[in-house]
Structure 1
């Protein structure tokens, strides 16, 4: 009986320690914590109750709404939400730029990761070469990640036309930008 009681206590401790704090910061396909493609912009303050949200104008200018900055408890920008229209009036989330290292995938990939963490854990579906960076598309988690070309070998830095392969990107190259793109589930 004591063994059963001890097991129950351990199970309770495990459940309490997994109270969702990691699920609130988990990056996965079509989800960032509790945010999903169906999340309405008006609900951000309720869902992200421990963060503060910059005032934003829901009115549009030329069919675009402003980006919405989400601040952590220390006043640092942790997320930038880009809204989209749905049914002409309802605003939902189009994509989120992740700036806070608390947000990670199950494999531990986050803004503070390097290329090795991407290459080791995910299939890179496409590598786009731009003037100053390479953009990695990872469909598995619905992300696109930017790496600054200053971390690439010199023969790849200045040619935006050359095809860049994953094996040409150094393992230690840090992530510059991390975006999560939400797909419409309707």
Structure 2
């Protein structure tokens, strides 16, 4: 009788602990974001986000923009679909700070966090922001120029990594699948 109770106790403990499995509901990888895989067809989004709400832009269907909301109305993601014969997701903008890479990078991260975890391939300067592209990654990060020193906020010149303050916050986190 004692052995059965011990086995039952260990089994119950394993079930309560989740058997050590990591929750991937908000994990960003190179080929997935939460339950969404890079090869998922747009037609299958209803099954992937069964607990969430999906809103397609009916005023501009050619834009291919699809917004994913939690049932409580919180904006999770905006997807842009391909124009293939069987459309898949090409780009994803992350709106929810719970989404993080396996290296812990998310919307509340800083430029230092990016630098500490990803080698930088290039930095592109736009009118209002800079876009950081890591090497060998489908991710890219946008930092508002307001996060930069005042002498760099209005420049169209190339900005180098050494010019970006380590505390500069990520404004947009994007993932591109092509």
TM over 0.5: yes
1:83 aligned residue? 81
Pick aligned residue for 2:92 from 91, 96, 114: 96
Deviation at 1:60, TM superposition (A): 7.8
Residues 155 and 60 from structure 1, CA distance in 2 versus in 1: closer, same or farther, beyond 3 angstroms?
A: closer
Pick aligned residue for 2:71 from 70, 73, 90: 73
1:13 aligned residue? 16
- Which of structures 1 and 2 has the bigger CA Rg? 2
Residues 55 and 133 from structure 1, CA distance in 2 versus in 1: closer, same or farther, beyond 3 angstroms?
A: closer
Computed over aligned residues only, the root mean square deviation of the Cα atoms, in angstroms, reads 2.5
Identify unmatched segments of 5+ residues in structure 2.
none
Q: TM-score, normalised by structure 2?
A: 0.86
Per-residue CA distance 1:82-136 (angstroms, 9 max, x = gap): 00022xx211000100000111111211112221211111111110111111100
Asked if 2 retains the 8 angstrom alpha-carbon contact of 1:30 and 1:181, the reply is no
Identify unmatched segments of 5+ residues in structure 1.
none
Residues 71 and 128 from structure 1, CA distance in 2 versus in 1: closer, same or farther, beyond 3 angstroms?
A: same
Asked if 2 retains the 8 angstrom alpha-carbon contact of 1:41 and 1:91, the reply is yes
Distance 2:57 2:126 in 1: 31
- Name the structure, 1 or 2, with higher relative contact order (CA <8 Å, separation 6+): 1
**What is the count of residue pairs matched by the alignment?**
175
